[in-house]
Amino acid sequence: MAAGKFITIEGTEGVGKSTNLAFVHDWLTARGIDVLVTREPGGTPLAEQLRELLLATREEPVAHNAELLMVFAARAQHLEQVVKPALAQGRWVLCDRFTDATYAYQGGGRGLDKTVISELEQLVQGALRPDLTLVLDIEPELGLQRAAARAELDRFEREDIAFFNRVRQAYRERAEANPAHYAQVDAGQPLSDVQSDIEACLKRLLSKPF
Ligand code: Z5A
């Protein structure tokens, strides 16, 4: 059986990942593709507990390396329990955030060494990389306005705008360095235009699998 495809969706706060994840799921399902939807950090009971620890606001400052290792601990569990078995069964996996978020938030945002992130990526993932990463791009101010309309802010959402500008820049650099596997979408557009652009990316993926 052919292995399934692995698609990830990325971007800064309030960029519309959840909204467009549902769109991608419905678009693929309508074409007869069996899609598993999941998220990071999270996707298994243990990884969801690590997510709670990671996002909770707390008085104790969180060491940047502790944050990095929690993200990869959750990822290791998620990959073994959920992602790899699904791909091996021929299912497609659609994941809300993945390792690009680590390069963007812990690398760009926190300033951690990308070589260390790359070493952990190799340890935890081996050769596994997404087939397609959709990077939804938006002015961080606009995304935060959208996000602020919702629930209480988590530990990341309390960061300042300079942090989110660094995160955005890191995403853009990764997408521009590897256009065969990344697509950047202007998420500041009206939703129907964002989804037309995403649809074009999905058609390319289906017509010319990489
Ligand atoms: N994190 C990390 O540091 N390192 C890692 O390796 C990983 C994660 C994997 C949790 O992520 C945190 O984990 C994250 C980084 C860190 N930082 N934070 N916070 P998350 O994905 O759960 O958190 P989030 O970015 O805040 O996601 P979200 O809350 O689900 O937002 P979203 O999915 O991007 O947005 P949305 O809910 O789809 O849309 C927001 C609103 O905008 C909503 O009302 C929509 O109806 C509206 N919307 C969407 N698109 C449009 C357009 N085009 N026009 C107008 N309005 C729109």
pLDDT digits (tens, 9 = 90+) for 74-97: 999 999 999 999 999 999 999 999
Pairwise CA distance, residues 194 & 183, whole Å: 12
Residue of higher predicted confidence among 38 and 155: 38
- Give the lowest-confidence range in 10-14, 19-23, 152-156: 152-156
pLDDT at 210 exceeding the cut of 50 = no
Pairwise CA distance, residues 146 & 148, whole Å: 6
Pairwise CA distance, residues 61 & 89, whole Å: 42
- Average pLDDT estimate for 46-72: 97
CA-closest residue to ligand 1 atom 36:
16
Residue of higher predicted confidence among 63 and 154: 63
pLDDT at 153 exceeding the cut of 90 = no
CA-closest residue to ligand 1 atom 46:
19
Distance 185 CA to ligand 1 centre (A): 15
pLDDT band, residue 152 (cuts 50/70/90): confident
pLDDT tens column, 107-151: 999 999 999 999 999 999 999 999 999 999 999 999 988 887 777
Beta strands in the chain (DSSP E): 6-11, 35-39, 92-96, 132-137, 182-186
pTM for the full model? 0.96
CA-closest residue to ligand 1 atom 4:
102
Distance 136 CA to ligand 1 centre (A): 10
pLDDT score of 85: 97
Closest atom of ligand 1 to 16 CA is 38
Distance 2 CA to ligand 1 centre (A): 32
pLDDT at 195 exceeding the cut of 90 = yes
CA-closest residue to ligand 1 atom 23:
13
Instruction: Give ligand 1 pocket residues (Cβ under 6 A).
Output: 11, 13-19, 40-41, 55, 71, 96-97, 101-102, 105-106, 146-147, 154, 156-157, 187, 190-191, 194
Distance 19 CA to ligand 1 centre (A): 9
Which residues share a beta bridge with 134?
9, 183
CA-closest residue to ligand 1 atom 24:
13
- Average pLDDT estimate for 30-47: 97
pLDDT score of 209: 53
Pairwise CA distance, residues 105 & 125, whole Å: 19
pLDDT score of 208: 65
CA-closest residue to ligand 1 atom 52:
191
pLDDT score of 51: 98
Percent of the chain topping pLDDT 70: 97
In the chain, helix, strand, coil percent, each to 5? 55, 15, 30
- Average pLDDT estimate for 67-73: 98
Pairwise CA distance, residues 196 & 186, whole Å: 11
Pairwise CA distance, residues 29 & 34, whole Å: 6
pLDDT at 155 exceeding the cut of 50 = yes
